[in-house]
Amino acid sequence: DAKTTQPPSMDCAEGRAANLPCNHSTISGNEYVYWYRQIHSQGPQYIIHGLKNNETNEMASLIITEDRKSSTLILPHATLRDTAVYYCIVRAREDSSYKLIFGSGTRLLVRP
Amino acid sequence: GAVVSQHPSRVICKSGTSVKIECRSLDFQATTMFWYRQFPKQSLMLMATSNEGSKATYEQGVEKDKFLINHASLTLSTLTVTSAHPEDSSFYICSASRAGGGTGELFFGEGSRLTVL
């Protein structure tokens, strides 16, 4: 699975959009981009995933560049509860029986 | 959403003893479960993949005789840390894959914090 690069930390103001970048320049054509987050001392939580097209759900939006070498997770109106470590993961299959390898992630701090 | 439960959430044991951690999928059948370990301020490290009814597959560098994994049913996997030492103190997290694979979403337990004295 391709490696990802994320900034170690970011912060944003409560109520503003949080845009978390991820670089995956070695991604191959059939690899998916997954985002998870981990709130302190809890298990990770699935946020969203995509292959080529932009995706949106009730939690976030995922914007994938046309060349698929990078993506951005957008939390449209960040709240204090969104403070967490966000992991961008590239995975070879859209199959939950296939292992998920975590990188170092981005620690997002949402400021009051 | 699907629920994965781990027990115990916290455990303290003496060096040399064995500790068992359970991971249950409460409302779905999990053909595959994964065990991760996380040290303070670090990311999750995959230890092993456990498939129901077969032997677990361990990641490189993880001792299979020290970390015994049993996946005896479609809703339960256990991790036993044998002859625990202080360096085994960590946060252990399991995740479960819904049978059929779905869209790749993994459901994680709340984690079990092990402290070895």
Residue recorded with tokens 């455990």: B11
Average pLDDT, integer, range A16-43: 94
Average pLDDT, integer, range A93-99: 81
Contacts of B57 (CB under 8 A, 6+ apart): B48, B49, B50, B51
Tell me: pLDDT of A89 over 80: yes
Q: Is B45 on the interface with A (CB under 8 A)?
A: yes
**Mutation site for A-interface testing, chosen from B42, B44, B57 by largest number of A Cβ within 10 Å:** B44
Q: What is the pLDDT of residues A33-88, one digit of tens each?
A: 999 999 998 999 999 999 999 999 999 999 999 999 999 999 999 999 999 999 99
Phi then psi for A75, rounded to 5 degrees? -100, 110
Six token digits for residue A49: 């995933």
Min Cα distance B73 → chain A (Å) is 16
Longest dimension (CA), chain A: 40
Min Cα distance A98 → chain B (Å) is 8
Nearest CA among B39, B6, B41, B9 for reference residue B113: B9
Per-residue confidence band for A1, with pLDDT thresholds at 50, 70 and 90:
low
- β-strand pairing of B107-108 with A84-91: unpaired
Average pLDDT score over chain A: 94
| Nearest Cα residue in chain A from B43 | A104
Nearest CA among B38, B114, B20 for reference residue B76: B20
**Residue % of chain A over a pLDDT of 70:** 98
Structure confidence at residue A96 (pLDDT)? 76
User: Which residues make beta-bridge pairs with B37?
Assistant: B45, B92
Q: What is the pLDDT of residues B81-116, one digit of tens each?
A: 999 999 999 999 999 988 776 777 889 999 999 999
**From A21-30, A37-46, A90-99, the region with the lowest mean pLDDT:** A90-99
Residue A106 CA to residue B10 CA, distance in Å, equals 26
Per-residue confidence band for B1, with pLDDT thresholds at 50, 70 and 90:
low
**DSSP annotation string for A28-64:** -TT-EEEEEEE-TTS--EEEEEESSS-EE-SS-EEEE
- β-strand pairing of A84-91 with A106-111: antiparallel
Average pLDDT, integer, range B52-75: 92
CB-based burial, B89-103: b 16+ in 10 Å, e otherwise: bbbbbbbbbbbebee
